[in-house]
Amino acid sequence: MLALVAVVETGTFSAAAEQLGYTQSAVSQQISNLERIVGMPLFERPGGRRPVQLTAAGELLLTHGRAVLSRVSAAAADLRALATGDRGELRVGTMPSVGVKILPRLLREFRAQWPGIEIVLRESRGSADLIRAVESGDVEVTFLDIGPYATGSLEVRPLLEDPMVLLAPADAPEACLNAVGITDLARLPMIGTRDPGCRQIIDSAFTQAPVAPTYLFRSDDNPTIQGLIGSGLAYAVLPRLAVDENDPHVAVIPIRPAPPPRRLGVAWQSERRPQPALAPFVETAADICRDLVDQWGGLASSVSSSDTS
């Protein structure tokens, strides 16, 4: 197709050969091959120095040929962008709590910096499932709870220490307190979480209480838990990241002594070559977590890039 377009643009086979850096016989051979493929002549050849003229078949093929070359050029540009990390997709594993305060801002800021990268999300309620997804290559990077799960060869970047807080109905007596103790919590009707990481932290904290808490039921859905608390049904201990603090129907109260925080991080497969967009994605997530810590007034702490596990 390049030879066809060059002959049309220059008017002669010899000028086309000079433009393309070919010999004239090579251009003639390419045009002859095209004519054999389509089964009819593409040029009228008057001979001598007079320019060649397209036949009707040549005119039709030229239209398609230019479209093909345009697509090839676009493909080459996309491949160059892919090689430099400006195009492609980044498959990201995420959890419900990340979707409330981290993910919306993260996607907005990352897409502003890398508009050619499509973020493909895989959502799961369990870190173990997301770790397996990274190990199998289904996702390239994932958020996860650090601690309760084996991460094998994955590289883990800690992002945030997420404090456990009490959620109480807004009109409950505890709503006006600056903090509440574990002993007092154990006497309240509770809604529990099924998440293994959070459940382990909460159950460990309640070992300090003289009595075990009474759970009305457990749920994996944080908005459902918060809605039931807002209705006055019960109380819950949840990581602060999972809480909608703008909900007027609930109060968010620190716990003293504070239970160990949930440790949030991101992980990727260190044995694979990461695409260029992965590191900026992780750094943007880290910046957002640092901002959250500032908003929370020191009740949580972010983790520097040098702290890895």
Tens of pLDDT, residues 17-52: 888 889 989 988 998 998 898 899 988 887 766 788
**CATH number attached to the domain at 88-161+262-302:** 3.40.190.10
What is the average pLDDT score of the chain? Answer: 86
Candidates 1.50.40.10, 3.30.300.280, 3.40.50.300, 1.10.10.10; CATH matching 2-84: 1.10.10.10
Element (H, E) at 135: helix 127-136
204 by DSSP, 3-state: which?
A: helix
Rg of the chain over Cα atoms, rounded to whole angstroms, equals 32
Strand 117-123 and strand 141-146: the pairing is unpaired
Whole-model pTM: value is: 0.67
Q: What percent of the chain has pLDDT over 90?
A: 40
Neighbouring-strand partners of residue 262: 162
Distances (CA, A) of 98 to 2, 60, 92, 198: 51, 55, 12, 14
Mapped to the 3 state alphabet, what secondary structure does 69-106 carry?
Answer: HHHHHHHHHHHHHHHHCCCEEEEEEECCCHHHHCHHHH
Domain 88-161+262-302 identical in fold to domain 164-256: yes
What pLDDT does 136 receive?
A: 83
CA atoms within 13 A on the CB side of 166: 31
Residue 73 has pLDDT above 70, yes or no: no
- Tokens read off for 79: 């491949």
Please determine, for residue 309, whether its predicted confidence score (pLDDT) is greater than 60.
no
**Residue 209: helix, strand or coil by DSSP?**
coil
**124 neighbors 267 (Cβ within 8 angstroms):** no
> Is CATH 3.40.190.10 the right assignment for the domain spanning 164-256?
yes
pLDDT range class, residue 226, cuts 50, 70, 90: very high
